[in-house]
Amino acid sequence: MTDWRPPLPLIGAWLGLLALLALTVTLAYVPLGAGNAVVALTIGTIKAGLVAAIFMELWHRRGLTLVFAGAGLFWLGILLWLGSMDFMTRT
Amino acid sequence: MSEKTYLTTDFTLRSWFLTTDHKRIAILYFASLIFFFFIGGAAAAAIRIELATPQADLVSSDVYNRLFTMHGIIMVWFFLIPSIPNTLGNFIVPLMIGARDLAFPRLNLMSWYIFMLGGCTTLFAIFAGGVDTGWTFYTPFSTLYSNSYVIVAAAGVFIAGFSSILTGLNFIVTIHRLRAPGLTWYRLPLFLWSLYATSVILVLATPVLAITLLLMATERFFGVGIFDPRIGGDPLLFQHLFWFYSHPAVYIMILPGMGVINELISCFSRKEVFGYKFVAWCSLAIAAVGFLVWGHHMFVSGQSLIASLVFSFMSFIVAVPSAIKVFNWTATLHKGSIHFDAPMLYALAFIGLFTIGGLTGLFLACLAFDVHATDTYFVVAHFHYIMVGGMVTAYFGGLHYWWPKITGRLYSEYWARTAAILIFFGFNLTFFPQFILGAEGMPRRYHVYPPVFQVWNVLSSGGAAILAVAYLMPLFYLGYSAFFGKRAPANPWNAPGLEWQTSSPPPEFNFETQPVVTREPYQYNERFDAEPQNA
Ligand code: HEM
Ligand SMILES: [Cu+2]
């Protein structure tokens, strides 16, 4: 276990998430065509990164913990890869 | 008996319901799972009674739908998934690695409470009016048309998922961190390798189930377009997400059983497991490759042909490590000194039944065959051969094997063998006819059928009656032995595993002194070449 840290980074990350949420909602109403999806997904990725780094405390971790966290990401990749294989090649 | 065991340290209810002792939590799980097994079993009994005749005589189609849904949901999530990991695993893992407890004892207790909360939620849905979607919750039926308690039942499964995740996490950390001095990875009993692989699946797959059910509930409740194409969703997305969890979940339901079989086969052949490293790595290979085959449940769903081809190919690949295990068990038997004690009878039954289940899985993985067999009783027979013939049999085998350790008592070998043989016979009579029915085209999930199918259905229902009696028998002779059985010695089977080096039943913190491991596992020939002693 790490030492207890002042919750400043947590509050910062939380505010960051709220700001990104506001940005998502706002941009959803700006017509960008295909750009809308790209923007939404990019923001989503940043949010997930914030949660993983700060709330899941992966920032200070190394070794086995990162391997397992990476495995989670890798498995998500499998879901997206084999799942989209169907969507891309459907006739 | 002056030494206090984990059973006699304290007798209050409080000491049970607030315990952090992995052994007591295992007992809590045992009791809960027996309860759920009976509810799921009651539904199965009703289904088989209805199917004894072609017409509808016992229940209406609506009630029938609710029966098989309840049977599936309870058996999958409230019996099979937790079955071996949370009972035998919980009890044996710390003992096998020479630890005082799991890495997170309180999390372990919490996982039981979460499990019970999920179980009660789903039970509430069932008794308030039931669910009729099948255990698969397929959209659009579950989101648009069903008038049953879909969200409540799914919420129960959702909640129980957290219990799975916590258990998986606990096992992974325990096996990494709490191994006794000298217990290297390649000295771990294979049961632990298989539980480790199971835990990896539990941790990586269960969140996807949670998200899938959440999305389903969101669409049903708020009408947000996720799966419904009219409001922008994709109708196959649900199946992709669901099977991304549920195919790996079938390996959650078989890997622990395979693990138990290693222990039984080697003990009752008095030999080390043939090809230890292969078996160990095959567990992990099954866990990993198991994530790449889910589309074999969607061959007729309209997914792309390319996807079907890839998933079909991968399904053949995933059978390879399972087959390696079967061959290695057989090679372990070869020239062994084989003892037909009750646990061994279960183990031998497992090998045969699992092989039939696995091979028919390969039939189904062939695109052309699956078009004919999908949604027929062939599929039903396939997965019951693995889940019931395999996993439930392994569960009983493991229960008998470790029973002296768990309770400190010996059971009646005569009754145990009788039950094992009866289970094997009843099982095959119940499910083998279903292969034939499926091959002849009888669809699953209907409560009426053309009269030509009746003969096989009557046989199947008759088998189910035998199976029901056979499954009840251990409740009596094991129950009797728990109170009146002969006292068990610390090591009734003369087995080398660490769990046998402490007294039966073990003291609260498992070992008087920290055990140290100096040998490979399964060394039956050296010091332990005596025969098993349970008579
Ligand atoms: C040798 C590896 C296996 C292969 C190749 C395989 C293949 C298949 C295929 C292709 C299907 C879909 C049939 C259809 O719906 O048309 C299927 C269904 C099923 N399999 Fe397997 N299987 C294997 C192992 C297992 C194991 C180990 C389990 C359980 C412990 C299992 C449980 C199930 C279940 C529950 C279903 C039916 C799901 C449903 O539609 O309700 N299978 N299997
Ligand atoms: Cu599958």
CATH code: domain of residue B266: 1.20.210.10
Query: Is residue A37 assigned to a domain?
Result: yes
Give B204→chain A minimum CA distance, Å.
6
B379 close to ligand 1 (CB < 6 Angstrom): yes
Single pTM value for the model: 0.93
Angle between helices B150-177 and B190-222 (to 10 degrees): 150
Give contacts of B312 with chain A, Cβ < 8 Å.
Answer: none
B136 close to ligand 1 (CB < 6 Angstrom): yes
pLDDT at B1: 44
Domain membership of residue B267 as a residue range: 22-501
pLDDT reading at B429 higher than 60: yes
User: Helix, strand or coil for residue B18?
Assistant: coil
Number of domains in chain A: 2
Query: Is residue A84 assigned to a domain?
Result: yes
Domain membership of residue A17 as a residue range: 7-60
Question: Are A41 and A82 found together in one domain?
Answer: no
Which residue in the set A78, A83, A85 is minimally distant from B306, CB to CB? A85
Stretch among A50-59, B12-21, B70-79, B120-129 having the lowest mean pLDDT: A50-59
pLDDT at A60: 83
Stretch among A4-18, B187-201, B429-443 having the lowest mean pLDDT: A4-18
pLDDT reading at B533 higher than 80: no
Number of domains in chain B: 1
Query: Is residue A2 assigned to a domain?
Result: no
* Residue scoring higher pLDDT (B13 or A61): B13
pLDDT at A5: 61
* CA dihedral sign of residues B388, B391, B394, B400: negative
Angle between helices B377-386 and B413-439 (to 10 degrees): 150
Query: Is residue A16 assigned to a domain?
Result: yes
Q: Tell me the ligand closest to B356's alpha carbon.
A: 1
Question: Are A89 and A72 found together in one domain?
Answer: yes
Question: Are A77 and A47 found together in one domain?
Answer: no
Question: Are A51 and A85 found together in one domain?
Answer: no
Q: Which alpha helices (H) appear in chain A, and where do they start and end?
A: 8-28, 35-50, 64-89
User: Helix, strand or coil for residue B409?
Assistant: strand
Give contacts of B303 with chain A, Cβ < 8 Å.
Answer: 86, 90
Query: Is residue B262 assigned to a domain?
Result: yes
Stretch among A8-17, B63-72, B91-100, B180-189 having the lowest mean pLDDT: A8-17
b/e string for B448-484 if b means 16 or more Cβ within 10 A? ebeeebeebbebbbbbbbbbbebbebbeebbeebeee
- Ligand 1 centroid to B147 CA: how many Å? 28
pLDDT at B535: 39
| Mean pLDDT value of segment B364-379 | 96
Conformation bin of residue B405: beta by default, left when phi > 0, alpha when psi is -120 to 50: alpha
| Separation CA B288–CA B359 (nearest Å) | 20
Which residue in the set B234, B241, B310 is minimally distant from A85, CB to CB? B310
As a dihedral over the C-alpha atoms of residue B267, residue B272, residue B275, residue B281, rounded to 10 degrees, the angle is 60
- Ligand 1 centroid to A90 CA: how many Å? 24
| Mean pLDDT value of segment B522-531 | 64
Would you give the DSSP letter of residue B375? T
pLDDT at A8: 86
| Nearest CA, atom 34, ligand 1 | B383
Give me the residues paired with residue B443 across strands.
Answer: B376
- Ligand 1 centroid to B96 CA: how many Å? 32
Residue A64's pLDDT band (boundaries 50, 70, 90)? confident
A vs B: CB pairs below 8 A:
47
Tokens of B192: 């632990």
- Ligand 2 centroid to B131 CA: how many Å? 23
Query: Is residue A40 assigned to a domain?
Result: yes
pLDDT at B108: 97
Pocket test for ligand 1, best of B242, B261, B299, B364 (most atoms within 8 A of CB): B364
| Mean pLDDT value of segment B319-331 | 96
Question: Are A45 and A81 found together in one domain?
Answer: no
pLDDT at B527: 47
pLDDT reading at B385 higher than 90: yes
pLDDT at A6: 63
List, for residues B227-248, the tens digit of each pLDDT value.
999 988 998 999 999 999 999 9
| Mean pLDDT value of segment B53-66 | 94
Q: CB distance from B522 to chain A under 8 Å?
A: no
pLDDT reading at B526 higher than 80: no
Conformation bin of residue A27: beta by default, left when phi > 0, alpha when psi is -120 to 50: alpha
Give me the residues paired with residue B376 across strands.
Answer: B443
Contacts of residue A39, defined as CB under 8 A and 6 or more positions apart, other chains included, come to A27, A32
Which residue in the set B176, B241, B307 is minimally distant from A85, CB to CB? B307
Burial grade of B393 (CB within 10 A; 0-12, 13-18, 19 or more)? buried
Question: Are A48 and A71 found together in one domain?
Answer: no
pLDDT at B528: 46
pLDDT at B235: 86
pLDDT reading at A45 higher than 70: yes
Query: Is residue A66 assigned to a domain?
Result: yes
Query: Is residue A41 assigned to a domain?
Result: yes
Query: Is residue A69 assigned to a domain?
Result: yes
Average pLDDT of chain B, as a whole number: 94
| Mean pLDDT value of segment A16-35 | 91
Question: Are A45 and A22 found together in one domain?
Answer: yes
* Residue scoring higher pLDDT (B530 or B144): B144
Question: Are A17 and A53 found together in one domain?
Answer: yes
Residue B51's pLDDT band (boundaries 50, 70, 90)? very high
Among A75, A80, A87, the residue to mutate for chain B (most B Cβ within 10 A)? A75
Query: Is residue B453 assigned to a domain?
Result: yes
Question: Are A31 and A68 found together in one domain?
Answer: no
Give A81→chain B minimum CA distance, Å.
10
| Mean pLDDT value of segment B519-524 | 91
Verify whether the Cβ–Cβ distance A78 to B304 is below 8 Å. Answer: no
Question: Are A42 and A66 found together in one domain?
Answer: no
B322 close to ligand 1 (CB < 6 Angstrom): yes
The number of CA neighbours under 13 Å toward the Cβ of B171 is: 32
Verify whether the Cβ–Cβ distance B294 to A82 is below 8 Å. Answer: yes
Stretch among A86-90, B115-119, B125-129, B360-364 having the lowest mean pLDDT: A86-90
Stretch among A49-63, B87-101, B226-240, B271-285 having the lowest mean pLDDT: A49-63
Contacts of residue B316, defined as CB under 8 A and 6 or more positions apart, other chains included, come to B362, B365
